[in-house]
Structure 1
Amino acid sequence: MSELLHSFRYRNYLWLWLVVALTNTGKWVFTLAVTWQVYNLTHSSFWSGALMFASMFPNIIGAPVVGVLADKIERRRLIFIAVGIALTVLLLLAGFTAAHLMNSGGMIVMALLFGLATSTMGVSINAIVPTLVPKDVLYNAYSLQAVGQRGTEFVGPFLAAPLLAAFGPESVYLFGAATYVVAIVFALFLSVPNTVERKVSEGFFASLGNGFRYIHRNRYIFGIIVLVGLHCSLTMAFLGMLPKYVQQGLGAKSSFYGVLMSMVGLGSIFGTLFLAGVKSHALRMKLFWTSAVLSGLSLSFLGESSSNTVAVVAIILVGASQALFMTLTVAFVQEATAEHVRGRVTSVYLVLAAGLMSLANWGYGWLANVVAPKYIMLTAGLLFTVVVGIYWLATRNKPLGKPVSNEMLEL
């Protein structure tokens, strides 16, 4: 057990992990409440998908900006800015909802602002982790971070679902706001090494361009990021149509919607905790390909679920395989990235991951008004499984192995 929790021996990493756990609890509490609220206001999966798109869209525009800033200014400062924005959004949502003044358009605006906060947090935290632990502990650190991030997909909805059913979404927003207040307290104890890009006089666009060139020259990083984009757009973009799937596909109520959301997180805990104890690179590569295939097949299984019990089993598998895949890919990329360009590489990763997922969420939400959600899940899951097979065949003679030396990739 001590080896499994090895990264917690580093005090600043522990403070960061607590910030991650609390802010992600707030994030999933927000997601639970807004998707359910907008669906019940509009009775349309289009608006649920649009809301998910709005909450992730800032990753497309904002993440590159944050990535450049993360290489130029203190990264802890970005955490405080992000937490402040998210806290303000949750308090506004609670107030407007309680006053019966919230409509679908207002919720889209709130989701955009909240997405800006989560985008800033994502880039900053992923860029900070390698500065807090030794390189040989990096996979353990990212695995435990994923427990804090994805495990809250279980904790957040599990705690918030009874509030949603009993008191409505405004109580859920207040609960989410409380998690961000506590996160601010823990962030005050966090000390982050000052890592500033060497070319401090370099302009914004030149700096951003150098980040893209760095990724393109490192085929290892480039290949992983492309597959992550396909994974997120095909297998992880189902939340926008989940409320309709629960109500019409399974004939269930809001309480079971909360259960399904929390089961994604429970599966994530299983997947990432298992990875925390893995030290073999060869085993990590096997888990990489296995989790990629299971991400597709488990989503198809969810679409074909005929009862609430089967749906719970399927969505646990979805959570476990997706969390394992995403944790491995972010650790692969961070291990291969030089410190002076880490923020920009992280931002590109998030642009393709969350950015494409936001577009797919909106598209699937619209499509779910025409086609039953279960058929969309079935098709998207099988399509990604085929993509993984093609990708494996294309790289089996030049397999994804250890990254090239960063000395060969100096800007």
Structure 2
Amino acid sequence: MLASLYYSDFRLLWLSSLFAGAANWALIVSRGWLVYSISGSSMWVGVVTFAAMSPNFLAPPIAGFLADRFDRKKLLSIVFLVQFAHNIVLAGLAIMDVIEVSHLVILSFLNGCARASQMPAAQALLPNLIPPQHLLNAISLNAATVQGSRLVGPAAIVPLMAIFGPEGAFVICTIFYLFSLTFSMNIKTVSFGQLDNRVNFVENFLAGLKFVYGHRLILPLVVTVFLHCCLTMSFESILPVLAEEFFEDGGLGATYLMMAVGTGALIFVLCVAVIRDMKKRGNFLFTAAALSGLGPIILGIADNSVIALVGCFLMGAAQASFMAIAGAVVQTSSPDAIRGRVMSVYLWHIGGMMATFNWINAAITDSFGPSPVLIISGTAFMGIVIISLFSVPLRSLYFRGRVE
């Protein structure tokens, strides 16, 4: 299960991704609760969440191009330095009690730009750090940091949220980003992509887009992932409202709900890491897709905190498994020379619309409450899973494990 961690450079990348992911999810919870406390509106939580995720519309393609043009390790270190500096400012404003919603919008956008640039660089670098026979294991373990950090980050800030409020959480996030910067700077592997000198800048820039849109399996898979993220994973902005329904302390309640998501994610992504047979991975992908729709429905009909936590656990388990396997298929299918650009296109589809749907869901929640949003979204995605069976390449992946 942990074979890839025996390789020192991958271990450093894994640790840097884990701490950065933990900081990211801790920020989503603490920042969201601070905005809700100041404004009393889910819509403003949605605006701040949108600001944090909206760079996924623009940053990934540029970051993917840079990841194929420059040393990927150095690019990653620069990104972590920006995130560290951002958090120093955020924590300082919060501790001095001069922070306003407008400050949070601006800082969230800056943090989002760095986060959106981090992912293509890290995913392009990863396959160069381990032998090919361990690639699927490494991709799954790296996905565990992305998904499992939903548990690690919120769990780390629980005591500080209870004692000091969001200010204490921001300090912890700053320390986490310092760890990520330190680990990334110690990676020794030098990794570059390859640009085609026979074509111009624009064609090089669009090479990842052409690969994704021209691939008979990757294109329908990316479309399905896109809808999965829009309909089942854009729930962060409504967490404060849900937390107030089920817990006396809304700030801690939002943290508990995110921890349940993270617990399910971590357990099931580690299970995915030990599955080497592609047919079983394909079966797991289809099952996870179906359950990704069921989780929000359970959370939407919950009438007590226990059922809400169970719904969050299932959401984390199903969503993380689906995203880990889908991401592995895209990474292993991409040529190394353009992998940074391919992964940036993949992340562009994922993150950009998640930002928009977080905002939309928050606005609807202010008028109708969170339950209709969750139930309708979950049901809609279960319908999408059924429709995806009409794609021959996807059906072959689901039931035969074929990557063509």
TM-score bracket, shorter-length normalisation = over 0.9
What is the match of residue 408 of structure 1? none
1:216 Cα deviation after fit: 1.8
Residues of 2 paired with 1:342 and 1:191: CA distance? 20
1:226 Cα deviation after fit: 0.9
Residues of 2 paired with 1:35 and 1:202: CA distance? 45
What is the match of residue 318 of structure 1? 315
1:388 and 2:385 matched: yes
1:113 and 2:110 matched: yes
1:279 and 2:276 matched: yes
Q: 2:132 aligns with which of 132, 135, 146?
A: 135
Residues of 1 paired with 2:270 and 2:372: CA distance? 32
1:149 and 2:150 matched: no
Q: 1:250 to 1:176 in 2, by over 3 A?
A: closer
1:198 Cα deviation after fit: 4.1
Contact kept? 1:161, 1:255, Cα under 8 Å: yes
Q: Deviations over 1:95-126 (max 9, x none)?
A: 11122221111111000000011111111111
1:44 and 2:47 matched: no
Q: Deviations over 1:331-375 (max 9, x none)?
A: 000110101110111011111111111110011011111111011
The residue type equivalent to 1:376 in the other structure is V
What is the match of residue 371 of structure 1? 368
Count of paired positions: 401
Query: TM-score normalised to the size of structure 1?
Result: 0.94
1:91 Cα deviation after fit: 1.1
1:251 Cα deviation after fit: 5.9
1:303 and 2:297 matched: no
Contact kept? 1:68, 1:204, Cα under 8 Å: no
The residue type equivalent to 2:292 in the other structure is S
Contact kept? 2:221, 2:394, Cα under 8 Å: no
Q: 2:342 aligns with which of 331, 342, 345?
A: 345
Contact kept? 1:135, 1:335, Cα under 8 Å: no
Contact kept? 1:263, 1:315, Cα under 8 Å: yes
Q: Which residues in structure 2 correspond to 1:11-410 (within 5 Å)?
A: 11-200=8-197, 202-248=199-245, 253-395=250-392, 399-400=396-397, 402-404=402-404
Residues of 1 paired with 2:159 and 2:104: CA distance? 22
The residue type equivalent to 2:30 in the other structure is A
Residues of 1 paired with 2:202 and 2:247: CA distance? 49
Listed as ranges, the gaps of 5+ residues in structure 1 are: 405-411
Residues of 2 paired with 1:130 and 1:390: CA distance? 33
| Identity of matched residues, % | 29
1:397 Cα deviation after fit: 8.9
Residues of 2 paired with 1:177 and 1:396: CA distance? 44
Residues of 1 paired with 2:313 and 2:126: CA distance? 27
Residues of 2 paired with 1:109 and 1:77: CA distance? 26
Q: Deviations over 1:233-276 (max 9, x none)?
A: 00000111111121146665222221111111111111111011
Residues of 1 paired with 2:108 and 2:96: CA distance? 19
What is the match of residue 409 of structure 1? none
Listed as ranges, the gaps of 5+ residues in structure 2 are: none
